[in-house]
Copies of this chain bind each other. A is one copy, B any other.
Amino acid sequence: MKRPTLKDVAKAASVSTAAVSYVLNGKHEKVSGETLERINNVIKSLNYVPDYSARSLVKNQSRLIGIVIPQTEKHAQLILENPWYSEIISGIEGKLRKYGYHLLLSGVNQGESYLDLLIQRNLDGAIIMGIYPEEFYEGLKKIKIPIVLIDSYINDSYFYRIGIDDEYGGYLATKYLIDRGHTNIGMITGAIRREGVVEKRFLGYKRAIRESNLFYNPDYVFEDSMSYDHGVAAGHRIASAFPEITAVFATADMIAFGLIKSFTDEGIRTPDDISVIGFDDVFMSRMFLPPLTTVRQDIKKKGVIAAERLLSLIGEAGDDDNGQSEDLRETILPLEIVERGTVIRRGNGQSLTETEHGRG
């Protein structure tokens, strides 16, 4: 009752293993119609399924795609808690499975051992999220495997990248607040790292402020982590130390949720007392109360496109590229502001002349 092998099938159909292999791989031109049918019958009756390990060994490809998710050092746990990742993975998985590829999901801290994994498991490609040390990317290049980077600003034409214009996003959000009469605008954000998305959004924030001839106050940017908790902490800090701030740009929706929560606890109402704009438009942003005004990117689509790009690199023609050969190295997805309930026009009310520089 052992699992049948290709050899068993060959014997039962009284053909060579080569013939069986041919039909398994759809090389029908190598096999006559009659034997084809015979072999197929045996396969079915024996319940034969090919062994990927063996196949992988000889073909040197695994039909496995690696997905890399950054992992906090503290918790040694995936950042999956951030719904952003869930959404993008959902997009990736859907596409990949359609083409017979499977997902190898790994949390990665500093890149370290992932390179070995890539080699050991013969991965056919990888989709990488997050920012890692220089050496990681160098290692990636050495292993000659198709790589798609999501939200990375690594300036190396070796890699294929899917992203958004984060600088513009930051600008958009900030400008949106400025246009609504806000002049003291805080920014709450994760770590501003060299060439990371956050840095770009920060740049956009500053550009909007300067362009409008407002004063850029470094004290108004609260940098820590892309987390709910940071939002909470920053919210309390703003409430107690910066009453003049009337609007904040959170560089992630999760941060915005934390902000609003702590504002609420402090008795500051959103948007009546302070406006908040987020970034991402994760699934739950529209569920939040009040629904979050935010800079929307199509997260799931990002995943789908990343998967398509990878497939086409592997040679599976997964790209629904309509002929136009744009520069495939870099795909920038559009951004838009979705207006919901957390931003209000300042000066809309009555008492603002009285307490011009603050919420009171």
Q: Which residues of A contact B (CB under 8 A)?
A: 3, 49-54, 56-57, 62, 64, 67, 75-78, 80-81, 83, 85-87, 89-91, 93-94, 97-98, 102-107, 116-117, 119-122, 228, 257-258, 260-261, 264, 283-284, 287-290, 300
Give the distance to chain B from A96, nearest Cβ to Cβ, in Å: 10
A105 to B90, CA, bound (A): 10
* CB-CB under 8 A for A86 and B77, given A56-B53, A105-B105, A122-B51: no
Point out the residue from B67, B80, B87, B91 that lies within 8 Å of A90, measured CB to CB.
B80
> Hey, which chain B residues are within 8 Å of A49, CB to CB?
116, 119-120
* CB-CB under 8 A for A105 and B93, given A288-B289, A289-B264, A289-B289: yes
Point out the residue from B57, B86, B106 that lies within 8 Å of A102, measured CB to CB.
B106
Point out the residue from B52, B97, B119, B289 that lies within 8 Å of A107, measured CB to CB.
B97
* CB-CB under 8 A for A94 and B77, given A49-B116, A105-B103: yes
Give the distance to chain B from A230, nearest Cβ to Cβ, in Å: 13
* CB-CB under 8 A for A261 and B289, given A52-B121, A80-B86: yes
> Hey, which chain B residues are within 8 Å of A290, CB to CB?
289
> Hey, which chain B residues are within 8 Å of A80, CB to CB?
86-87, 89-90, 93
> Hey, which chain B residues are within 8 Å of A52, CB to CB?
53, 120-122
Give the distance to chain B from A80, nearest Cβ to Cβ, in Å: 4
Give the distance to chain B from A109, nearest Cβ to Cβ, in Å: 10
A94 to B107, CA, bound (A): 8
A117 to B97, CA, bound (A): 12
Is there an interface contact between A287 and B258, defined as CB atoms closer than 8 Å? Answer: yes
- Can you give 10 A-B contacts (C-beta < 8 A)? A49-B119, A53-B57, A78-B90, A78-B93, A80-B90, A81-B283, A83-B83, A86-B86, A228-B287, A284-B284
Which of A57, A86, A258 counts the most chain B CB atoms within 10 A?
A86
> Hey, which chain B residues are within 8 Å of A106, CB to CB?
93, 97, 102-103
Is there an interface contact between A81 and B87, defined as CB atoms closer than 8 Å? Answer: yes
Which of A62, A97, A300 counts the most chain B CB atoms within 10 A?
A97
> Hey, which chain B residues are within 8 Å of A75, CB to CB?
94
Is there an interface contact between A94 and B76, defined as CB atoms closer than 8 Å? Answer: yes
A98 to B51, CA, bound (A): 27
Known: A3-B119, A77-B93. 15 other contacts (CB 8 A): A53-B57, A53-B122, A76-B94, A77-B94, A78-B86, A86-B86, A89-B105, A93-B105, A103-B105, A104-B105, A261-B287, A261-B289, A288-B288, A289-B289, A289-B290
> Hey, which chain B residues are within 8 Å of A56, CB to CB?
53
Is there an interface contact between A120 and B89, defined as CB atoms closer than 8 Å? Answer: no
Give the distance to chain B from A155, nearest Cβ to Cβ, in Å: 26
Is there an interface contact between A257 and B287, defined as CB atoms closer than 8 Å? Answer: yes
> Hey, which chain B residues are within 8 Å of A257, CB to CB?
284, 287
Is there an interface contact between B288 and A120, defined as CB atoms closer than 8 Å? Answer: no
> Hey, which chain B residues are within 8 Å of A103, CB to CB?
104-106
> Hey, which chain B residues are within 8 Å of A53, CB to CB?
52-54, 56-57, 62, 121-122
> Hey, which chain B residues are within 8 Å of A228, CB to CB?
287
Which single residue of chain B is at the shortest CB-CB distance from A76?
B94
Point out the residue from B91, B97, B107 that lies within 8 Å of A93, measured CB to CB.
B107
Give the distance to chain B from A47, nearest Cβ to Cβ, in Å: 9
Give the distance to chain B from A169, nearest Cβ to Cβ, in Å: 22
> Hey, which chain B residues are within 8 Å of A78, CB to CB?
86, 89-90, 93-94
